[in-house]
Amino acid sequence: MEFLVRAENRLPADTADDVRARLKTGERARADELRAAGVLKRLWRVPGRNATIGLYETTDATTLHDALASLPMFPWMDITVEAVATHPQER
Taking the mean position of all CA atoms in its chain, how far away is CA 8? Answer: 10
End-to-end CA distance of the chain: 13
At its nearest, how many Å lie between its own copies and the CB of residue 20? 10
Taking the mean position of all CA atoms in its chain, how far away is CA 54? Answer: 6
Q: Which is nearer to its own copies, 39 or 77 (CB)?
A: 77
Residue ranges binding its own copies (CB under 8 A):
1-5, 7, 13, 28, 31-32, 42-49, 52-53, 59-62, 64-65, 68, 75-90
At its nearest, how many Å lie between its own copies and the CB of residue 26? 13
At its nearest, how many Å lie between its own copies and the CB of residue 42? 7
| Rounded alpha-carbon distances, angstroms, from residue 20 to 27, 39, 89 | 10, 25, 43
